[in-house]
């Protein structure tokens, strides 16, 4: 089942991220998709803040992966926008099996590498401030998480 939430501002998106973070677990995978400027990195900032990270969270476009290890749990922030045809050399599977949380921006570009169980979040721009955020859980644990935060 898919769930839709309306975000009317950055604070709404941050609050959603914080609520999902409260349900975190080792090996959690969150996949973010949406056009440029739709709120993907804002979501990661909210999640990281709730993890207790004080780092300045930016999109890791040129690094592909940024590792944040000083919070309650490791956060692996991936931005695969610049990858061509996926890239098996990145070691996605290794990251997906860690004791931390993986958040992948532009995940549709590596869909063949994504695990079956994950939380997909799609951001749709309605206007300058408003977004429709669609939560698509894959697997019972993600279904339970979405039900607890929606």
Which pLDDT value is given to residue 139?
97
Q: For the chain, give the DSSP string.
A: --EEEEE-SHHHHHHHHHHHHTT--TT-EEEEEESTTSSHHHHHHHHHHHHT--S-----TTTSEEEE-SSSS-EEEEE-TT-SS--GGG-HHHHHTSSSEEEEETGGGGGGGS-SSEEEEEEEE-SSS-EEEEEEEESHHHHHHHHHH-
Map tokens 């941050």 to a residue: 14
pLDDT for 60: 66
pTM more than 0.85: yes
How many Cα atoms sit within 13 Å of 144 on the Cβ side?
9
Which CATH number do you get for residue 123?
3.40.50.300
The alpha carbon of 130 is separated from its chain's Cα centroid by a whole number of angstroms, namely 19
Which residues form the domain of 63?
3-149
Give the count of domains, the chain.
Answer: 1
CB 96 within 8 A of CB 27: yes
Any idea which residue has 């309306």 for tokens? 6
Beta carbons of 65 and 35 less than 8 angstroms apart: no
Per-residue confidence (pLDDT) for residue 81, from 0 to 100: 85
Give the C-alpha separation, 74 to 133, whole Å: 25
How far, in whole angstroms, is CA 32 from its chain's centroid?
A: 5
What pLDDT is attached to residue 93?
85
Question: If the chain, 150 residues long, is cut into consecutive pieces of 10 residues, what is the mean pLDDT of each piece?
Answer: 94 97 96 96 96 85 85 93 64 89 94 95 97 98 95
């Amino acid at each position: 089942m898919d769930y839709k939430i309306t975000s009317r501002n950055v604070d709404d998106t941050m609050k959603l991220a914080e609520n999902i973070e409260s349900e975190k677990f080792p090996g959690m995978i969150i996949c973010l998709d949406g056009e440029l400027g739709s709120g993907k990195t804002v979501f990661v900032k909210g999640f990281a803040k709730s993890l207790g990270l004080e780092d300045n969270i930016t999109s890791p476009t040129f690094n592909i992966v940024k590792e944040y290890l000083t919070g309650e749990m490791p956060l692996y922030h991936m931005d695969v926008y610049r990858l061509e045809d996926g890239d098996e050399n990145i070691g996605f599977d290794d990251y997906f099996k860690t004791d931390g949380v993986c958040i992948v921006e532009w995940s549709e570009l590596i869909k063949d590498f994504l695990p079956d169980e994950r939380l997909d979040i799609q951001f749709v721009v309605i206007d300058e401030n408003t977004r429709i955020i669609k939560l698509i859980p894959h697997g019972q644990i993600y279904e339970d998480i979405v039900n607890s935060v929606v």
